[in-house]
Amino acid sequence: MKRRTLALSLFLLASLPAIAADKFDYKALAKQQAGNYAAEKLNLPTAAPAGAKVYFPTLKDGDTVSSPVTVVFGLAGAGIAPAGTQVEGTGHHHLLIDDPTVDYTVPLPVSDKIVHFGKGQTETQLKLAPGKHTLQLVFGDWKHQPFNPSIQSDKITITVK
């Protein structure tokens, strides 16, 4: 009985690749993976979704706030997807704090002034020292690179009391 079960199991396992090959397009997957690899290695920008914009729905330029500051990320004309997930028309947020220098032709680095929200978060709590601070949103693609053209909010200045 065990041999018959083992033989049947081996037969079914051997048949799976043939069955799966009929249903799965390996050529398309290989083409997509090659394209992803090239885009990542060559820092090729992803075309921005038409009409997409990011903004701060709960903060405006000149606001005075207390720390921690709740920062909500507004998005229109695109969707959210975690970093590393390549789905057309989607990306994730990056928050620029206190005007860091940014090269929009390469993936954004991680720092205390360039905060990544690669899990698809749409808000955060910031602990900021008292004083004036600038905030700006930049929407990035699956590889943390700004879209082309860049999808970024207006830069706002807030005062933390």
17/68 Cα distance (integer angstroms): 54
For the cut 70, the answer to whether the pLDDT of residue 107 exceeds it is yes
For residue range 64-75, what is the model confidence (pLDDT) as tens digits? 999 999 999 999
For residue range 12-48, what is the model confidence (pLDDT) as tens digits? 445 455 545 557 776 655 555 555 555 555 567 799 9
- 């601070």: which residue's tokens? 133
What confidence score (pLDDT) does residue 6 get?
A: 46
60/62 Cα distance (integer angstroms): 6
Mean pLDDT of the chain: 85
pLDDT band with cut points at 50, 70 and 90 for residue 2: low
What confidence score (pLDDT) does residue 39 get?
A: 54
Average pLDDT, stretch 59-68?
98
For the cut 50, the answer to whether the pLDDT of residue 3 exceeds it is yes
pLDDT band with cut points at 50, 70 and 90 for residue 49: very high
Average pLDDT, stretch 140-153?
95
Question: Among 22-31, 57-66, 94-103, 112-121, which stretch is predicted with the lowest mean pLDDT?
Answer: 22-31
For the cut 80, the answer to whether the pLDDT of residue 10 exceeds it is no
What confidence score (pLDDT) does residue 44 get?
A: 74
Closest CA to 88 of 144, 44, 142: 142
Q: pTM score, two decimals?
A: 0.75
Q: Which residues pair with 126 in a beta bridge?
A: 69
